[in-house]
Structure 1
């Protein structure tokens, strides 16, 4: 039921701007790919060049909906959290997450795990809303709304400083694109050689 409600709430955004953002991020992704916090699988149609896609999602109901979807190439799904990714080191060529790290309970550990399972030099792309530190009034409003938002939006942290978390992680940022006045960011990073995962 939660998956159905989530899809209904997100549908207007998915059919407008988010659809184009997903396409722009994912159309060039190749090889074996990890999709983190896959939800109900909205990104599946945009992995047109990937050899395989593994959808990582902790919610069993959403995994069930993902399993009904089809794509070109091979599609897998794993019911697991991003803080404990059930794959060996250097399994994936790339990884992507779309509005996932705002909800993950321990994003620092999840970023470290992502760095562990993606091969050195592999690309990681994140699309996230973030705390608008450059706009104090907007940031204060986010802080005020955060508790109610978390309850209404399946644990989503409205004011999470995700760019800072990536900067502090084992990943290295290549570029950041700002959208909607900095409320949303597309963060492109890579895995440097010799990453030591968090314990």
Structure 2
């Protein structure tokens, strides 16, 4: 599986890119907003685990055994449990979590609408979804480059800069309450909550 292979390069590449782009600082700030019982979708190698506060309980889900093995080595102030699972069918009752976290996961995972439906189902009505995702930039030159890059990366790793995650959230039952752009808009940070049912 490609995610198992990616587990060997994912963290070195992220470590190299995140500090100079401001992503590392933004990641720390975003994870600092997590509260209560947390589900992290696509926990990967556990880059976020050291950033959680000690007063939260985190369940990290990933489909890749290789990623999870690396995540198990991470130390965290929080109480952490790691599970192999598919975000398209989460093994939890409705309204189980106060916070859901997705960093560079929604821009990669297939069947995004199904995943968002599951996130909304397991989040409490007053819960938060914290996301940091690849995004289409509004800079036309940069956008042309990223669009071409996405035609390649979407096939190899699933990463796609062409999908507006904010708009995807709004179309799938979430209200975006905070939004911030990084890396000339190629990375977007969003805080959202479930929209009230009509």
Give the TM-score, by structure 1 length: 0.88
Instruction: State the distance in 1 between where 2:196 and 2:69 align.
Output: 36
- Does structure 2 conserve the Cα–Cα contact (< 8 Å) formed by 1:93 and 1:122? yes
Consecutive unaligned residues of structure 1, counting only runs of 5 or more, are none
Maintained 8 Å contact 2:166/2:176? no
Report the TM-score, using the length of structure 2 for normalisation: 0.88
Cα deviation for residue 139 of structure 1 reads 3.1
Counterpart residue number, 1:104: 109
Residue 117 of structure 1, aligned match among 117, 122, 125: 122
Tell me, in whole angstroms, the C-alpha distance in 1 between the residues paired with 2:72 and 2:37: 18
1:158 equivalent in alignment to 2:161: yes
Q: Hey, what's the Cα distance between the residues in 2 that align with 1:70 and 1:138? A: 37
Aligned length, in residue pairs:
193
| 2:149 match | 145
Please state whether the residue corresponding to 1:157 is helix, strand or coil: coil
Cα deviation for residue 146 of structure 1 reads 1.7
Which among 51, 56, 60 is matched to residue 46 of structure 1?
51
Question: Are the equivalent residues in 1 in contact too, given 2:45–2:71 (CA < 8 A)?
Answer: yes
Q: Secondary structure at the match of 1:156?
A: coil
Q: Secondary structure at the match of 2:7?
A: helix
Distance in 1 of aligned mates of 2:50 and 2:172: 29
- The 3-state SS of whatever aligns with 1:23 is helix
Q: Secondary structure of the residue that 1:125 maps to in structure 2?
A: strand
Match of 2:92 in 1: 87
Q: More deviation in 138-147 or 96-105?
A: 138-147
Q: Secondary structure at the match of 1:111?
A: helix
Q: Which runs of 5+ in 2 are unaligned?
A: none
Partner secondary structure for residue 56 of structure 2: strand
Q: Is the 8 A contact 1:30 1:49 kept in 2?
A: no
Q: Distance in 2 between matches of 1:72 and 1:24?
A: 16
